[in-house]
Amino acid sequence: MAAKANIVVDQGADFSTTITVTDNNGSIVDLSGYTAEGQIRKHYTSSTKYDFIVTFGSPRTDGLLTLSLSSANTAAIEAGRYVYDVNLTTSGGIVSRMVEGICTVTPRVTQ
Q: Residue 23 maps to which CATH number?
A: 2.60.40.10
E-strand spans in 1-111? Answer: 3-4, 7-10, 15-20, 35-41, 49-51, 53-56, 64-69, 80-89, 95-106
Q: Is residue 81 part of a domain?
A: yes
Q: What is the tally of structural domains in the chain?
A: 1
Which percentage of the chain shows pLDDT scores above 70? 99
In terms of DSSP bridges, do strands 7-10 and 95-106 run parallel, antiparallel, or are they unpaired? Answer: parallel
Q: Rounded to the nearest 5 degrees, what angle is found at the Cα of 53, between the Cα atoms of 59 and 96?
A: 70
- Per-residue pLDDT at 77 exceeds 80: yes
CB 30 within 8 A of CB 37: no
pLDDT of residue 1: 63
Whole-model pTM?
0.90
Task: Give the rounded distance of the alpha carbon of 60 from its chain centre.
Answer: 17
Domain that holds residue 47: 3-106
Tell me whether residue 94 is in a domain: yes
**Do the beta carbons of residue 103 and residue 83 sit within 8 Å?**
yes
**Where does the pLDDT of residue 67 fall: very low under 50, low under 70, confident under 90, or very high at 90 and above?**
very high
Inside any domain, residue 86: yes
pLDDT per position as a tens digit, 1-42: 678 999 999 999 999 999 998 888 989 989 999 999 999 999
Which DSSP symbol is given to 108?
P
53: in domain: yes
Q: What length is written for the chain? A: 111
Residue 111: inside a domain, yes or no? no
Please give the average per-residue pLDDT across 44-61, as a whole number: 95
